[in-house]
Structure 1
Amino acid sequence: MVITSDIPVQALRAGVGTVTEEVIEEIQTRIPEYARPSDGLYLKVIRMAVEQAIEGFLNRIENPDTPWDPEPFRMIGKGEAAEGRNLEPLQTAMRLGARVGWRRLTELAEPLGLSPQTLYDLGEAIFVYLDQLADAAAEGFEEAGARAAGEIERRRARLLDLLLSHPPAGAEAVAELAKSAGWRLPKTVACVALDDRHGMPAPAPDVLLGLDRPVPCLLAPDPNGPGRARLLDHALRGRRAAIGPAVPLAAAATSLRWAGEALELSRRGVLPRGTLRCEDHMATLVVFKDEELVNALAEVRLAPLAHLRPAQQDRLAETLLAWLRYGRGAGEVAARLHVHPQTVRYRLRQLEELYGDQLADPDIRFELEIALRARQAVQGA
């Protein structure tokens, strides 16, 4: 767009002060966010922004080929982000300023001898300029928002490190960092161990992400709160992951440790694939906490079966575990195993011959169930 050179810019400059006051009054009257009559510094900032906008427009008319510096309005956009506002108040203020400027120009058109075409060109220039100011402010706003989001993300990553440290970090240090990260301290948390770190969004804004840790993980606050379990299940759908037990905040590392162990058992096939909850598999986790000890126990308690053929061992081990778990009635055991009761009675007689009085000892029965559960889990892997 070409602006004719016969515009008396110096005459327009003479009215800058009056226009500035009109614009400021209009902005403070119409936009509550900018109405701070007792804040001298804030008024000074508004005045500076208005003067820069008017002066920038006049410079453009006077020297159309001079490069325009958007930085002042990028800084204004950053300031809006720092104030916690969106861009709507600023954009409204810009439109009000343009309206006041256009009104002033139409009032001066006749005294200054401006032709209708020149007045039209000036009006178009105002709106082009307004778009450029708005774009510059939006760039600054987005840049500040991205920087703030990055800083919050870094603080939350550091907070997660503190929460999962061993020994646990002090409560005061955790509280201070949580406040600076905008994270409300919950009473309980649950950690989620992930098999895959890729493409995992945060299930909720308050869930801490630790995707770059040696064991990729999440930390979910208040896991037993309303809707929280469903939220986690939805976010983890289709993934292999293990949700640790809910623990006090200071014990977050414990929840992650259990989740990591459950995830490893899932990889081995001992626990199911997909997303699992440690709370549903506590017995298996306890049994496999020390496999060497469990193997040693199995070697002792399953010794009476050792001389049998593998198929016989499997049948008798399956029957003995069902008998220990579901009661001593042959009918109940048969129903669980889907075999005839007479078959169960025959196997139980074999077991009585092999174990003798040991099956009457409750401690031995308890150890047998541990050994047999571990055997069953490993064979199912």
Structure 2
Amino acid sequence: MTETLEPGFLEDPTLPLPPRLAPILRPELPSLAEEIVAEIRRSIPEYAGPIDGPFGHVLRLGVQEGLATFVDRIAVPPGAAAKNGIENVCRKLGRIEAHEGRSMDSLQAAFRTGGQVAWRRLMKVAPRHELSSSVMSRLADAVFAYLDELVALSLHGYAEAKTHPAGAMDGRRRRLLQLILEDSAGNAMVITELAEALRWKIPERVTLVATGPGVRCAPAALDEDVLLDLAGPEPYLLIPGPLTMARKAMVRAAIPGRRLAAGLTVQPVRAADSLRWARRALDLADGGIIDDGPVVACEDHLVTLWLLSDPELIDQIARRELASLDGMTPGQRERITETLQAWLVTRGTAAEIGRHLYIHPQTVRYRMRRIEQSLGERLKDPEARFGIEAVLRATALRGRADPATGQRSGDRSA
């Protein structure tokens, strides 16, 4: 059964497009976006390179966001404000073109190509829903007016990148970043003044992202509100708000092929803590202790970060809590601590611990007798028991590192 939109609803050219168009168009968007990106890469030589680079990421995001925003504008009632996230993407595309030393000709051609592919799809969709010629005429006007708007936004980003010296601006943005990280109450007014001069809105929360030295970055692929300092031995970025999936994809596209670690999302006055945690997580990932893909999120490894925050202190606790095991051989000690940790974690029976460790229950009972003889009353003391469990967990985590080098990878590549 086809859905008919009444032609009479759109006879007045001043009326907006009917919101009922939105659910007709929305299912087409995912495949349409792929078709547009493929056609742009096929028909415009400058964009035929790998799609996973900085420009490719922004191009794909721009097509997806552009289509979604167009349909969102149709869906909202007249006079209501539609969510519009396309402006920043278009300006970013323009900035990338300027930084790459290209003119705007190719990007404008890409917009035209996108419009042509979209219109061909609309011509296929129209008969299925019996869209009238009046609807189609009004839709065509809306499509090409929207393209003009997107081109204008990209031209704005292009002109901005051409007219504002990047070096001077980058220096002031790095200064702002340093002031935020210093976490000094006396910096508040200076931070506010510098942020206003840079038109940088101070966010309520920030996330710091760390990476390794010698990193290569495409700054134009980053959102305008990202602050960064990649020149030092410990490069890092400040991202306003949480590291969403879109932000994560943005950072990976701007810094491809490198491992990154994201600290916790905190208030700006705690930015230094977020960076410290991110750098520690990066070290643990490089050492093979954390294995979490190309972007390590501290929020997924809080206990590990806590347990390994001070290795020397853990060693001191181990000497105090496990001193009674010092007379055992390394092999005996390993088997005893393995069984002890399983008991602390599961509090199970000998049979249950045996299944957990793949050993016979009688072996578990023998080891538990040795443990009781060695640790005695300490196992009944909650504080001592907690310390023992923390030490055993930390030791197990450190055991994940390569015993020969202490590291799983020699660099910070993803």
TM-score by length of 1: 0.57
Give the whole-Å Cα distance in 2 for the aligned partners of 1:313 and 1:264.
28
- What SS does structure 2 have at the residue aligned with 1:263? helix
Give the whole-Å Cα distance in 1 for the aligned partners of 2:201 and 2:275.
20
| Post-superposition offset of 1:204 | 3.0
| Post-superposition offset of 1:220 | 1.2
Is 2:183–2:269's contact at 8 Å kept on the other side of the alignment?
no
Question: Could you tell me which residue of structure 2 aligns to residue 358 of structure 1?
Answer: 378
| Post-superposition offset of 1:374 | 2.1
Question: Could you tell me which residue of structure 1 aligns to residue 364 of structure 2?
Answer: 344
Establish whether residue 193 from structure 1 lines up as the match of residue 210 from structure 2.
yes
The amino acid that maps onto 1:284 is T
**Among candidates 209, 234, 237, match of residue 218 of structure 1:** 237
Is 2:211–2:236's contact at 8 Å kept on the other side of the alignment?
yes
Give the whole-Å Cα distance in 2 for the aligned partners of 1:325 and 1:269.
24
CA deviation digits over 1:152-190, x for unaligned, max 9? 322221211111125365222222222222322211111
| Post-superposition offset of 1:144 | 7.4
Give the whole-Å Cα distance in 2 for the aligned partners of 1:275 and 1:347.
41
The amino acid that maps onto 1:159 is L
Identical-pair percentage: 39
The amino acid that maps onto 2:368 is L
Give the whole-Å Cα distance in 2 for the aligned partners of 1:304 and 1:261.
32
CA deviation digits over 1:8-34, x for unaligned, max 9? xxxxxxxxxxxxxxxxxxxxxxxxxxx
- What SS does structure 1 have at the residue aligned with 2:399? helix
Question: Could you tell me which residue of structure 2 aligns to residue 248 of structure 1?
Answer: 267
The amino acid that maps onto 1:368 is I
User: After alignment, is 248-257 or 179-188 more displaced?
Assistant: 179-188
Give the whole-Å Cα distance in 2 for the aligned partners of 1:245 and 1:205.
21
The amino acid that maps onto 1:209 is L
Question: Could you tell me which residue of structure 2 aligns to residue 179 of structure 1?
Answer: 196
The amino acid that maps onto 1:205 is E
| 1:171/1:308 CA distance change after superposition, 3 Å | same
- What SS does structure 1 have at the residue aligned with 2:196? helix
**Among candidates 306, 309, 332, match of residue 312 of structure 1:** 332
Establish whether residue 269 from structure 1 lines up as the match of residue 288 from structure 2.
yes
| 1:152/1:329 CA distance change after superposition, 3 Å | farther
| 1:169/1:330 CA distance change after superposition, 3 Å | farther
CA deviation digits over 1:333-370, x for unaligned, max 9? 33433334443333222211221121111111100011
5+ residue gaps, structure 2, are 1-102, 106-154, 402-414
**Among candidates 154, 169, 173, match of residue 152 of structure 1:** 169
Give the whole-Å Cα distance in 2 for the aligned partners of 1:87 and 1:201.
19
Is 1:237–1:275's contact at 8 Å kept on the other side of the alignment?
no
Give the whole-Å Cα distance in 2 for the aligned partners of 1:183 and 1:339.
61
Is 1:178–1:185's contact at 8 Å kept on the other side of the alignment?
yes
Give the whole-Å Cα distance in 1 for the aligned partners of 2:376 and 2:281.
36
| 1:150/1:278 CA distance change after superposition, 3 Å | same
Give the greater-gyration-radius structure (CA). Answer: 1
| Post-superposition offset of 1:148 | 4.0
- What SS does structure 1 have at the residue aligned with 2:232? coil
User: After alignment, is 245-254 or 224-233 more displaced?
Assistant: 224-233
Answer 1 or 2: higher relative contact order, Cα 8 Å, separation at least 6: 2
| 1:276/1:155 CA distance change after superposition, 3 Å | same
Is 2:213–2:234's contact at 8 Å kept on the other side of the alignment?
no
Give the whole-Å Cα distance in 1 for the aligned partners of 2:231 and 2:185.
20
The amino acid that maps onto 1:187 is E
Matches within 5 A, 1:270-349: 270-272=289-291, 274-349=294-369
Give the whole-Å Cα distance in 2 for the aligned partners of 1:169 and 1:218.
23
- What SS does structure 2 have at the residue aligned with 1:246? strand
Is 2:213–2:232's contact at 8 Å kept on the other side of the alignment?
no
Matches within 5 A, 1:13-162: 145-162=162-179
Is 2:216–2:255's contact at 8 Å kept on the other side of the alignment?
no
Give the whole-Å Cα distance in 1 for the aligned partners of 2:252 and 2:334.
36
The amino acid that maps onto 1:261 is R
| Post-superposition offset of 1:231 | 4.8
5+ residue gaps, structure 1, are 1-85, 89-137
Give the whole-Å Cα distance in 1 for the aligned partners of 2:224 and 2:352.
50
| Post-superposition offset of 1:192 | 1.2
The amino acid that maps onto 1:255 is S
- What SS does structure 2 have at the residue aligned with 1:209? strand
